[in-house]
Amino acid sequence: MRHLLLAPALLLAACGHGIDADNAAANENEIRNAQRTESSASPAAAAAKAQVDAYYAKIAAGDFAAARAMWDQDGAASGGSAEDLKGAYAVYRSYTAQAETPTHIETREGIDYVIVTVAAKAETKSGATRELKGMVYLRRPAAPADAAKGQGGWKIWAVDVRPHH
């Protein structure tokens, strides 16, 4: 009877099913580098869409410092200061944007990525009206530490909104 129990244990050990530090590190790397997708209808995608709406609400309210803080790298990904962001919108009397449909979420190397389409209407200080369309690109760690804060950890890393022809 002892030999029957010993044989499977030896086979498992010989096949590498033992747990050691090398296997644990390899498993951690495999998980971190895993690629996955998540539905555009998921709560995480909805949080990304809400983040874009909150960003444009801050722009509309003239709170450019808070809007810049929504960018990745503590705002540095915006490519400028809050004053620079304010200057980008200085030509408009009004600017309203609405987040539309997010894409599905892609995860690569431990980072979630999503794109949210945006439609905007703007009136310049000279009275001309413009319709704009584009995309806001967001990312976050695949296991966001601040998901409980309601923003889902999403940070803006690029915006491409242009006049719609």
Tens-place pLDDT, residues 133-143: 999 999 999 87
| CATH architecture, domain defined by 35-163 | Roll (3.10)
- Examine the pLDDT at 48 and tell me if it is beyond 80: yes
Bridge partner list, 105: 38
The pTM of this model reads 0.75
Residues of the chain with CATH 3.10.450.50: 35-163
Between CA 110 and CA 112 the distance in angstroms is: 7
Residue 118: closest CA among 25, 36, 55: 55
**Least confident range of 36-45, 47-56, 86-95, 149-158:** 149-158
